[in-house]
């Protein structure tokens, strides 16, 4: 039986900005206790402060998701603080370099894979360990349209996001019998700081908008709403799914 939101505890990675920030705030607004993780201590604490000032429960911990010892300690601290773990939202990620595959540096490749893919694996590893012991849990991994289709000049990002979908499906199969639902969301181009930094003029934004049949960018609140539904309202049998929230970008 799914707990009510006001009795649930969530760990959200990448909670300082973008999708992770919006998901943290929305979950907290519905009564979920939020344990926030980000490498940027200023933005992460700002999200926690916003939630607390709005009447929610939140705690921030600076963590590099690519470091297993840091993530394991954070999960244990969450358990100590809130007494359990029901939800994992794995949103931490970077855009990485924009280069043709043959020009992509090994160091840039390794950095992106460590954060965007290995970081999701590490986060899931310690989240699932606690959820197996509890006999229930819900995990949402943030992939991308780049996890479904290829995008030029982004080989590492595309590889990582495809990998996120792969590990989501595999873990869903492994832990379905343990009462753990594991799904992925594949956002289209979403209006976050990460994307804003890549769009340096109006013509480029228009070009990106028009790639979506809806002719607009995805709003981060739309992703957050999908996360909330998956974590608190969706049927238990919904697991192993990849949900595009992309204005029909990948339908073409």
Q: Report the distance separating Cα 197 and Cα 186, nearest Å.
A: 20
Active site residue 82: no
Annotated catalytic residue, options 82, 104, 126, 157: 157
CB 140 within 8 A of CB 184: yes
Residue 24, CA distances (Å) to 44, 88, 99, 136, 159 in order: 10, 11, 32, 20, 26
CB 71 within 8 A of CB 122: yes
Contacts of 224 (CB under 8 A, 6+ apart): 19, 22, 23, 25, 26
What does the chain come to in residues?
252
CB 47 within 8 A of CB 25: yes
Q: Could you list the active site residues?
A: 157
């Amino acid at each position: 039986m799914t707990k009510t939101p006001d009795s649930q505890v969530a760990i959200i990675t990448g909670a300082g900005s973008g999708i992770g920030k919006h998901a943290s705030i929305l979950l907290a607004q519905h009564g979920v206790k939020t344990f926030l993780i980000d490498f940027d201590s200023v933005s992460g604490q700002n999200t926690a402060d916003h939630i607390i000032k709005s009447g929610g429960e939140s705690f921030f911990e600076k963590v590099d998701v690519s470091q297993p010892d840091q993530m394991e300690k954070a999960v244990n601290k969450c358990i100590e603080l809130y007494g359990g773990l029901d939800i994992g939202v794995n949103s931490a990620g970077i855009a990485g370099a924009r280069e043709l595959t043959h020009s992509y540096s090994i160091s840039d490749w390794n950095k992106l894979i460590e954060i965007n893919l290995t970081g999701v694996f590490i986060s899931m590893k310690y989240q699932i360990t606690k959820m197996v012991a509890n006999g229930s849990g819900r995990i949402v991994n943030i992939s991308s349209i780049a996890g479904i289709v290829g995008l030029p000049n982004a080989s590492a990002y595309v590889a990582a996001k495809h990998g996120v979908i792969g590990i989501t499906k595999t873990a869903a199969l492994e832990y379905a019998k343990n009462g753990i639902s594991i799904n992925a969301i594949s956002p289209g181009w979403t209006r976050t700081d990460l994307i804003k930094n890549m769009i340096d003029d109006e013509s480029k934004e228009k070009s990106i908008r028009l790639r979506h049949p809806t002719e607009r960018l995805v709003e981060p609140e739309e992703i957050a709403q999908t996360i909330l539904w998956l974590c608190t309202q969706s049927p238990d049998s919904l697991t192993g799914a990849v949900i595009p929230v992309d204005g029909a970008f990948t339908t073409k």
